[in-house]
Chains A and B, each alone.
Chain A
Amino acid sequence: MEIQVLRRLEEKNKADADQIRALLNQHNVKCFNIMGSPGCGKTALLEHVLPPLQQRYRCAVLEGDLYTTQDAERIAGMGTTVIQLETQGSCHLDANLVMRGMQELNLDQLDIVFIENVGNLVCPANFDLGEHHRITVVSVTEGHDKPSKYPALFTKADIVLITKTDLLEHTNFDIHRAKESIRKFNDHAEIVETSIRSAPPAALVAFVLSIVD
């Protein structure tokens, strides 16, 4: 016999994510999910955007990592509240794990929570974490074909940062083609070129401020 079902597989994670969003909204906290491959510069970006944001807003970071607390220690070194979400080898965060992290935070005392996802171009895209906005990071050393090969990470991004542009001359990365590829799947995201070596990521700070101000 056959049972007709038609249920979305994400329904449980989506329900957990909606619960997180409701909790955040209740405390008037905005949440940003940062995604990108290992080494694209997610932690480095946080190190550069937290100081200017913390002048006016109270920030915390949920730090997703397969193992080790190295990234969390970098963020904690800046005086930011950081909760480590160790996935024990799993390649992405899900809303259930993020909820546990949120419960460790004193949301009454916060304005902004960043979630640094596990470095991965495929799996994190599939999991709504209850964030309000998605930040996708791709570095010039990864190659301009990555948005075409891993479109899901870009479809729901609100801002895409192309990082390490100071290394452009040493790579064959074609910024125009990269942007064109991002646009195929996302015609609304702001696309920003950035290099923390030459300048702080002002566009990302401005984007976050445009949401929380």
Chain B
Amino acid sequence: MHEFSIAESIISIVQDETREYPGRQIRSIKLRVGILKQIVPEILDTAMELLTEGTNIHGTSIELETEGVEVSCLDCELREIVYELPFACSACDSPRIRCKGGEEISLLSIELDEVNENGDSGTP
């Protein structure tokens, strides 16, 4: 349920980054999420919906780009990036693998309306 904390961080960054554009509806937010974060997209959507009610972020869509894990096998030469939790080497099935990465979560970009609710750009 750390999705609620994540949603709070998203909202805080979005508010910070869109301060110059008051009243504009946020259309979508793009995130890059490492698979080790074990984020459940549906719960993140629910958290965003609940926490943004009455704001210009409400109703935004969250786009997730997945950051994989780099796997290297100790028993064969295989090195690969995988996007699901790895249990064994995909080439030789050895459980002796080493995994790196997939631990970060970043907000990449925000898409917002060209105009605010009054139909102007809202900027001086």
Contact = CB atoms under 8 A, between A and B. Distances in A.
Contacts of A127: 2, 5
B2 A151 contact: no
B111 interface: yes
A6 B9 contact: no
B55 interface: no
A148 B110 contact: no
Contacts of A170: none
B46 interface: no
A3 B18 contact: yes
Nearest to B28: A2
B2 A122 contact: yes
Given A123-B1, A152-B37, A185-B99, A2 B9 contact: no
Contact of A2 (B6, B31, B87, B111): B111
B109 A155 contact: no
Nearest to A151: B36
A190 interface: no
Contacts of B5: 90, 92, 94, 123, 126-127
Interface in B89-124: 95-99, 103-114
A5 B98 contact: no
Nearest to B104: A8
Contacts of B110: 2-3, 5
Interface residues of B, number: 35
Contact of B111 (A1, A122, A125): A1
Contacts of B1: 90-91, 123
Contacts of A94: 5
Contact of B2 (A7, A11, A123): A123
Contact of B9 (A12, A91, A123): A12
B107 A5 contact: yes
Nearest to A154: B36
Contacts of B37: 126, 152
Nearest to B87: A148
Given A3-B18, A122-B2, A126-B2, A12 B12 contact: yes
Interface of A: 1-13, 90-92, 94, 122-123, 125-127, 148-152, 155, 177, 180-181, 183-185, 187
7 contacts: A1-B114, A3-B109, A5-B107, A8-B107, A9-B13, A9-B106, A149-B85
Rank and list the top 5 A-B pairs by shortest CB-CB distance, nearest first.
A123-B2, A9-B9, A152-B36, A3-B110, A9-B105
Given A3-B109, A90-B4, A125-B36, 19 more contacts: A2-B111, A3-B111, A5-B17, A6-B106, A6-B108, A7-B17, A8-B104, A8-B106, A9-B106, A11-B9, A12-B12, A90-B1, A92-B5, A123-B1, A148-B85, A148-B87, A152-B38, A183-B96, A184-B97
